[in-house]
Structure 1
Amino acid sequence: MPDRPDYSALTRGQIALLERISTGDTGLAMLGRLVRLAQDVLGALGAGFAEYGPGHGRVIACAGRCAGALGRRVTVPEADRTQFLPLDALDDAIAGRGDGTDIRYVLGTPCAVGDAVVGALYVSYGEGGEPGPEHHAVLELLAATAGHLYGRQAGFPVHGDGPVVAALADGLAVVDRDRVVQLWNPAAERLTGRTAAEALHHELPFPVPPPGQVLVHHLPSGRRLKVTAGDLPRTPAMRVVTFRDSTDQDRRHEDRDLFVAVTSHELRTPVTVIKGYADTLTNHWDSLGDQGRQDAVRAIGARAGELARLVDRLLSATSEDGEVGGAPPGPFDLADALRAAAAALPAGLRRRLVLENLPGDLPKAFGDRDSLATILTELATNADKYSPAETEVTVTAAGDESTVTFRVADRGIGIRPEHVERAFERYWQGTAGAGAGLGLYLVRRIVERQHGWVSLRPRQGGGTVAEVRFPRA
């Protein structure tokens, strides 16, 4: 590694970043530029940013030798300071594993907005000594810039749609008969984003429900407040208003209702077709003839197989943490498994799919071979849904020292950088009426059960690339 950071590149890069930020650019695209700047300025082999959410983190931007870690789930470290550690000591806590075996160390620093740590910025090195204080200082400067991006609260997977710091206690306000605020506690500040100075002696920014009733108020940030109120004892002209964040609870109820709707919609078509053909066989057996009866039985068999796959998908989507079915992982030939999975696709998808580059000397992957049918079906279906009918969907594969990878690429409408992680959320749809929003969610769960990871990215020239990485056997 260089003895000193490249301060000339740092100055140019920071000026360019700030100019873009001042014109309104934010989100993952800007974070990607910052990560590449960190790699260049600090003379690293690679760099990345892991965003922290509830319970775990995920690599959402990376460059250089760390590019293969995009989409990888990582654990959240306990350290709250800049550290330089051997890669093995991290246990995937910050960076996951890079593609190159020559990566040996990671220098990482937390990224915070106020007191809330939203992620970590890191650079990766090979052999060559420990980075000095100047390297630490530059990385911390760039992490502060990342924190500034997060402070704008736009375009990030976890911390992009509202206040970064969740409320830890109920908000409380005391209002007079005209709903003018006389008291405003710290939790109220956190929940609403209004300081006491902004709230006191001004009208309460949401309605007050009658005593004994509950009102749900939607803030512009997307947060939902569950509001209750009561009279202040011995002061009838005053009312106490309490409110708490009910966003997650309400969304769980919505997920349940949406799951019921999705289930009925997804199952209706194959059930209707099976019943229709069964009725036809029952009522017209003699008039159908042998060929007609065989065609009807084949259609019932095909729809029954489709129904079984739908049931597996829908049941797998009922739990965030439950196991997705499958055999124990082991070594398998990825190229051969992809060919078999492609041959089993419905005819319409099969015609669009082009197996472009499946090397014969591809190293063995470690995972569940049988799951490739589900993974490829979901990715190919997604590509088919969002790309013009006359374009091809290509499948390629490659291997390196630590992973075996395949990519499904289309020439469709593409994906916005801030949506590359949201696309894996259960029920999320990028386009209104685009489907149930379960396919990519299921793919990520299946792949991560096998200690692999999956990511999406915009394709140069238009379209989307889905990349699945398995550990090398």
Structure 2
Amino acid sequence: MPDRPDYAALTRGQTALLRRINAGEAGLAVLNQLVCLAQDVLGGLGAGFAEYSPGHGRIIAASGICARALGRRVDRADARLTTGSRTQLVPLDDETAAQIDGGERHRVLGARCEIGGLVVGSLFVYYGEEHDEPGPEHHDVLDLLATNVGHMYGDQAGLPVHGDGPVVAALSDGLTVIDRDGIVQLWNPAAEQLTGRTVGEMLGRPLQFPVPPPGQVLVHRLPSGRLLKVTAGDLPNTAAMRVVTFRDSTDQDRRHEDRDLFVAVTSHELRTPVTVIKGYADTLTNHWETLGEDGRQEAVRVIGARAGELARLVDRLLSATSDDGEVGVHPPGPFDLVDGLRHAAGQLPVDLRRRLVLDRLPGELPKAFGDRDSLATILTELATNADKYSAGDTEVEVSAEADETTVTFRVADRGLGVKPEHVERAFERYWQGDSHDRGRNPGAGLGLYLVRRIVERQHGWVSLRPREGGGTVAEVRLPRA
């Protein structure tokens, strides 16, 4: 690590970032470039950014040796950077260091990212044992870059990535102050974004939607179709002014629509195997003698296959709709990942199994530690997702590898790809992409949500990323036994 930060690289990097922002780029793509800039300028082995939600955070951008941690959940309660100095040098314990690259003596220089006093996440750079301790100038540069991250969140362009928590509430609530005649005296930036009306258009003019009495909530539909949930109250020490806050509640309505879609799709998926099972069972009952031995064996085979499909579907339904349950979880232990993947692939529907390419699986790997039986569900969901979003004549490749601390497998397709702003949202329950991005089947928005829950219960993590040349790569990392 150099004695001083690379200020020439900092200048070039900041200029490149400004050009991208001025060109209209925003969100995760720009955040990723800023994280790479932090590593380059400060001479670390890797860098990353963890976005915070109410109870935990998640690494949503990473570079260098930290790239493997993309998608990993972090416990916000243990985050030292939420209080104290804005930048801190934190020694890592062996377990946390091992999750980065297998080392035992590492330090991280971290900086708190905040906007308006609200902590939105932390920016960090990792150093190895061969590095000297970062100096004051390194702290100052990281503080500068963390401030840039805070401003990106303040601009509300593609950030935050996750749709829950106080970050969204604080940054996206519209606020206006009106006098006793309903004339607008204050109009904040979020109000502009929510309504499409600028400060110049609103100051000194009547508020253009009704205001509920204090303590009540009113839902107002804008001409654009957006729904606003409006609340109001009197300003302290004045009888002439009222403060009105409002937020977008359109997504809440969409979640209700998603649940209705989930019920409809799940009902269809349940009905199909049940109908087939009943049909073949009736055939066996009514035509046992005339079927012959081959016909009876085929009927039993189909009933068994459809019963297995039905069992997986029910387990999926229960797991995905239970917030705290441990549905379908077996005691963890060492297992052969490659053998488990081949076995799980054999349980896939025939059409999907034909698309799967397992040639890149190695002969053997160090054993993983977790629930071997869960691979069937994980691979089914990832392969189904790949099948849904890619043309039927393309292959879905499964590969695997291991390093000092994790055993990894990937499912890669040549489909529509994943937008940077969707790589985390795709794991939310009931979330679905835009209608033109949904492939051949609409789905119910549960598959990836279920995969993340299962993998994280095994102390692993899962992430999505665009595939070079087009398509998507889903990567699952499990602890090495």
The normalised TM-score by structure 1 is 0.85
Does the 8 Å CA contact 1:165/1:190 hold for their aligned counterparts? no
Query: Which residue of the partner structure matches residue 435 of structure 1?
Result: 443
Does the 8 Å CA contact 2:390/2:413 hold for their aligned counterparts? yes
Q: Which amino acid aligns with 1:28?
A: L
Does the 8 Å CA contact 2:98/2:405 hold for their aligned counterparts? no
Of residues 388, 403, 408, the one that matches 1:405 is 408
Query: Which residue of the partner structure matches residue 261 of structure 1?
Result: 264
Query: Which residue of the partner structure matches residue 106 of structure 1?
Result: 108
Query: Is 2:118 the partner of 1:116?
Result: yes
**1: CA distance, partners of 2:259 / 2:202:** 36
After superposition, where does 1:187-266 map in structure 2 within 5 Å?
201-207=204-210, 215-217=218-220, 225-227=228-230, 247=249, 257-266=260-269
Query: Which residue of the partner structure matches residue 460 of structure 1?
Result: 468
Gapped regions of structure 2 (runs ≥ 5): 234-239
Does the 8 Å CA contact 1:45/1:103 hold for their aligned counterparts? no
Does the 8 Å CA contact 1:163/1:221 hold for their aligned counterparts? no
**1: CA distance, partners of 2:150 / 2:280:** 60
Q: Which amino acid aligns with 1:311?
A: V
Query: Which residue of the partner structure matches residue 381 of structure 1?
Result: 384
Query: Which residue of the partner structure matches residue 55 of structure 2?
Result: 55
Comparing 442-451 with 23-32, which one deviates more in the overlay?
23-32
**2: CA distance, partners of 1:221 / 1:131:** 51
Query: Which residue of the partner structure matches residue 234 of structure 1?
Result: none
3-state SS, counterpart of residue 428 of structure 1: coil
Does the 8 Å CA contact 2:194/2:247 hold for their aligned counterparts? no
Of residues 415, 419, 424, the one that matches 2:422 is 419
3-state SS, counterpart of residue 11 of structure 1: helix
The normalised TM-score by structure 2 is 0.84
**2: CA distance, partners of 1:289 / 1:388:** 40
Aligned CA RMSD, in angstroms, stands at 3.8
Deviation at 1:377, TM superposition (A): 1.3
Structure with more of its chain in helix, by fraction: 2
Query: Which residue of the partner structure matches residue 338 of structure 1?
Result: 341
Comparing 97-106 with 141-150, which one deviates more in the overlay?
97-106
Query: Which residue of the partner structure matches residue 39 of structure 2?
Result: 39
Does the 8 Å CA contact 2:218/2:231 hold for their aligned counterparts? yes
3-state SS, counterpart of residue 359 of structure 2: strand
3-state SS, counterpart of residue 208 of structure 2: coil
Query: Which residue of the partner structure matches residue 372 of structure 1?
Result: 375
Query: Is 2:88 the partner of 1:88?
Result: no
Cα offsets for 1:284-330 (capped at 9, x unmatched): 45554443343333222222211111110011111333324211211
- Sequence identity percentage: 72
Cα offsets for 1:169-188 (capped at 9, x unmatched): 99797676xx73378799x9
Change (3 A) 1:223 1:67: farther
Of residues 344, 359, 362, the one that matches 1:356 is 359
Query: Which residue of the partner structure matches residue 307 of structure 2?
Result: 304
**2: CA distance, partners of 1:218 / 1:74:** 38
Change (3 A) 1:85 1:241: closer
Q: Which amino acid aligns with 1:31?
A: L
**2: CA distance, partners of 1:469 / 1:215:** 46
3-state SS, counterpart of residue 40 of structure 2: helix
Change (3 A) 1:67 1:40: same
**2: CA distance, partners of 1:406 / 1:389:** 22
Deviation at 1:206, TM superposition (A): 2.4
Query: Is 2:400 the partner of 1:392?
Result: no
Cα offsets for 1:257-300 (capped at 9, x unmatched): 45433432331222222233334444545554443343333222
Change (3 A) 1:75 1:261: same
Gapped regions of structure 1 (runs ≥ 5): 231-237
Cα offsets for 1:326-354 (capped at 9, x unmatched): 11211112122112222222222222212
**2: CA distance, partners of 1:353 / 1:5:** 47
